[in-house]
Amino acid sequence: MKQKVEDILRIPLLHYLILIVLIYFVVFFKLGSFSFRLWDESMFAVNAYEMKQSGNYMVPYFDGEVDWGNRKPLLLTWIQVGFIKLFGFSELTMRLPSAIAIASSILMLFHFLRNKIDLLFAWIASLILLTSVGYIGFHTGRTGDTDSLLSFFLLATCIYFLKWLMEDKTKFALISILFFSLAVMTKSFAAFLFIVPIIGFGLFFLRTKFFTLFKSPKFYIGVTFFVLSLVLVFYVREFYQPGFLKSTFTNDVARLSVEMQAHAQGWDFYLLSIFQDRFYIWTIPFLLGTIFCFQINNSEMKMIAFFALTIISLYLIMISVSTTKLYWYDMPIYPFLAAISALPIHLILQRFSIKKQVSISFALLFIFILPYRKMFYLAQSNTFSHGDKIEEASSIFLHDQLKNQQEENMTLYHYGYKGGVLCYKYLYAEKGKELRITYTPDFKSGEKVFVGNDSLTNYLVTHFPLDTLSVFENGLLVKIK
C-alpha cells in the first residue's frame, strides 16, 4: 500500500495541482468580498473603468479629468480594462491581475527550483513564500495595484537570467530582458532598482560570460524591445499628456531624497518591517540560511543562493537609503527571502535521511500546517482598524449595499479622497442606479443621503429637516424632508 502511495506522489502533475489548490485558498478565495479601500487600488480601478468607457488608452482619467496622481505606466490599467471587457467591472475583476501574478510567481519559483535543485527544496521555498504576510495581503497579492505584477516580472527576469548563466542559452537572456521591459512598463523606476544587483552579480562572478552577450543578435533584439518599452512609458505618454515627464521626475525620482506624503522613515524601517512582521515566522530560517550559503557544495544551488543574497542585500540598501518609504516597496525580494530560508529546512530534512515521498509529505505538512492556517485566516479576515472604519465608512456601506442587493438611487455626502466611492458610483451605474457624490450640502426634498463623516453628519442634522432611515456603525442614511 505504501509503495502505491509513493508511486502516486512521484507524479509531477500532482505536485502542481496540489500547489494550485493551496494557492487558491490563500490568494483567490473571497478575493472580491471586501470593499475598495486602498488609495492605489481604487485609483487604478477608476482609471481602468474610465479608460474603458472613453476608449482613450494613452492617458488615465479620474472623475472625468486627466489623472496627474497616477504617474505609473499603464500596463496594469490596460490589463484591467481587458478584464472589465471579459468579466465586467467589480472588486474581483480589478484584483484578479494581481492574484494571477502572485500565483504565477509561486508556480514559477516552484518549477525553477524543482528543476535546478530538487522537489523537496521547491516545495519548502514555495510554501514559505505562500505563507509570507509581506507577499500575500493588502497592497500585495490580494489588492488591485501594481506591486504584484512588478514582483512577478522581476522574479521572471531573475529566473531567466540565472537560466542563461547556468545553461548558456542566449534565448534565456532575451527572455530575461523581455520580462524586465514588462517590469519597467509596470512601475518604471521601481524596476530599475533590480538592475544594480543583477548586473553586479553577473560582472562580479561571471564577467567573461557576461560580456559574451554583446556578440549575440538575440541580445540586441531584447535591447530593442527594452528601448521601445521606455519610449512607450515615457515619451509616448508625454506626447498624449504634455507635462508628464516633468511631473514624473519631480515627484517619483525625488522620493530618493525628499519625503513624499508624510512617508519618511528611519534607515531600519524595512528590516524591522520584514523581520518583525511581514516575514516574521521565517526570520530564524533566513538567518540560518545566510550562514548555510557558504557551506553549499552543489554549484547550481550555490549560484542561486548567492544570487538571492545579492538581490536581497543590494535592493534593501537602495530602498532603505531612500527618504520616502512605504512598507510594500519590499515586496519583490520575498521570493529570494523564501529561497534562502528554505536552505536550513532542506538540510535538516536531508540530514535526518527523510527520503521517502510519504515521509517528506508528512514532514512538510507538520512544518507548514500552522503557518498556512494562519495565512489563510489572515488573508480571509479583511479586518478594518478603527481608523479605517471611519475613513472608509462610505465605501464599506456601499459595498455592503451591493453585496446584499440593496442598492438604490441616493446621494453620498462625502469628504476627502473619493477613489473608493467613485468605484461604487460606477458599480451602481452598472446596476442601473444613480449614486450622486457631493461635497456641498445642495440637497432636495425627498432625497436619500448617506453620510459617513462626523462633521458632515453634524452639519446635515443641524441644517436640514430629515428622517433617519438607518443608523450604521460609522454612518447614517437619511431622507431629506
Domain locations along the chain: 2-381, 388-480
pTM for the model stands at: 0.93
- The Cα 204–Cα 202 span in angstroms is 6
Instruction: Give 384 or 473, the one with higher predicted confidence.
Output: 473
Using the predicted structure, report yes or no on whether residue 5 has a pLDDT greater than 50. Answer: no
**DSSP per-residue letters across 37-48:** -SHHHHHHHHHH
Residue ranges with strand state E in 40-99: 61-62, 65-66
Which cell is 349 given?
A: 530534512
Using the predicted structure, report yes or no on whether residue 451 has a pLDDT greater than 50. Answer: yes
Structure confidence at residue 326 (pLDDT):
85
| Straight-line distance from the first to the last Cα atom of the chain, in angstroms, rounded to the nearest whole number | 76
For 272-282, the pLDDT digits (tens) are 999 998 998 99
Using the predicted structure, report yes or no on whether residue 264 has a pLDDT greater than 80. Answer: no
For 388-408, the pLDDT digits (tens) are 777 788 898 999 999 889 989
What residues have CB less than 8 Å from 110, skipping those under 6 apart?
Answer: 15, 16, 19, 122, 123, 125, 126
Lowest-confidence segment of 12-16, 106-110, 230-234, 333-337 by average pLDDT? 12-16
SS3 per residue for 415-443 = CCCCHHHHHHHHHHHHCCCCEEEECCCCC
- Among 112, 102, 72, CA closest to 332: 102
Question: How much is the average pLDDT of 196-209?
Answer: 81
DSSP state of 117: T
Band of residue 355 on the pLDDT scale cut at 50, 70, 90: low
For 297-336, the pLDDT digits (tens) are 888 899 999 999 999 999 999 999 887 788 889 999 999 9
